[in-house]
Amino acid sequence: MRKTAAHLADGREIIYYDESDELRRNLHDPRDLPERAPGSELRRDPLTREQVVVATHRQGRTHLPPSDRCPLCPSTKDRHTEIPASDYDVVAFENRFPSLSGDDGRCEVLCFSSDHETSLARVGTKRMRTIVDAWADRSADLAAMPGIEQVYCFENRGPEIGVTLSHPHGQIYALPFVTPRTATVLASARAHRGTTGGDLFQDVLSAERTGPRVVLDNEHWTAFVPEAARWPVEVHVYPHRSVPDLPALDDAERGSFAVLYTDLLGRLDRFFDKPLPYVSAWHQAPVHGDRDLSRLRLEVFSVRRAPDKLKYPAGTESGVGVFINDVAPEATAQRLRELAP
């Protein structure tokens, strides 16, 4: 893989991850862009002690443009996009409408393919491996930035989730704080270690690997539906070796993840015989603390509960955080096992 960094016309960084080591790129962005958006603002909720990001400039961001106006497609001689190249494999760049900016962090877009009509489930294992390497590389670079406490890689897929661009892509947030979900999980891991002397994540993985909710596994990874799944379709993917983050994965683990995740995403799309809307979230250890308590893992979940029905977080979920799942996790796991290619 060849990594090439450059800057867009307004100074934002762009990084190409090319599968050919011989490729040489023209890195000039000919656009005349306005000044970059003003910074976001962090505010702290005194009741929950959680951070809220105020980013008023995002109201004007691009929203579901037609395919011939997609800003994530390659540039042509007649139309210049966010990616100046005429083709690409995988590319990361600073978001033009970031939720976090300036001293409050950084937001990047990671495009999985130049093909507007494909999806992460269909890019193939070679491209998936390139994407894993890009996730790891961006995580390491962003974690090294001053003031960053956590790096969060994720993909929102489908308009049902709230996606505003249909081109296959994900995002990477470099956060100046540890997220509430991470803090809660680490508190549980700390309590578990204090009570049992064990590793919470290893104990969860060991229990699930011998139970009825495993979807698929290989030498280095296991994908399972958690016992207390909140969502109708929810799968967690754990590495067998305890590692804190994506950069810590070795070559064999990255390659075997590419195979397993491609298989899993295909099954998810066959679950309702239509493209599944989902959030796919990498949970990595904080940059500066509790790295021995944490464990890298991927959580994928969908708001679709039936072919023609969505689960909307309503009064109990949104109001007080109590989830009610209409589908038994064991049934979801069984269905996904049956959907092998």
Q: What is the CATH number of domain 181-338?
A: 3.30.428.10
pLDDT of residue 302: 97
What's the start-to-end Cα distance of the chain, in Å?
A: 29
- What span, in angstroms and rounded, lies between the C-alpha atoms of 164 and 116? 14
pLDDT value of position 223: 98
Same fold, 2-32+69-179 and 181-338: yes
Average pLDDT for residues 208-236, to the nearest whole number? 98
- Whole-number pLDDT of residue 24: 77
Model confidence at 118: pLDDT above 90: yes
pLDDT at 22 over 80: no
Q: What is the distance of C-alpha 53 from the center of its chain? A: 19
| Separation of alpha carbons 7 and 16, rounded Å | 11
The CATH number assigned to the domain with range 2-32+69-179 reads: 3.30.428.10
What pLDDT, in 10s, does the model give residues 157-176?
999 998 999 999 999 999 99
Say yes or no to pLDDT of 40 above 90.
no
Q: Mean pLDDT across the chain, nearest whole number?
A: 95
Query: 244: which 2 tokens?
Result: 């804190």
In this predicted structure, what is the pLDDT of residue 35?
87
Q: What is the DSSP string of 234-273?
A: EEEEEESS--SSGGG--HHHHHHHHHHHHHHHHHHHHHTT
Catalytic residues: 169
Per-residue pLDDT at 91 exceeds 90 = yes
Element (H, E) at 118: none
In the chain, where the domains are located: 2-32+69-179, 181-338
CA distances to 84, 135, 137, 254 from 21, in Å: 19, 19, 17, 19
- Full-model pTM: 0.96
Is 262's pLDDT higher than 90? Answer: yes
**Which pLDDT belongs to residue 26?**
78
Nearest to 327 by CA among 236, 264, 235, 233: 233
| Model confidence at 23: pLDDT above 80 | no
For 288-330, what is each residue's pLDDT tens digit? 999 999 999 999 999 999 999 999 999 999 999 999 999 999 9
Give, as one character, the DSSP assignment of residue 315: I
Residues 6 or more apart whose CB falls under 8 angstroms from that of 280 comprise: 154, 155, 157, 170, 298, 299, 300
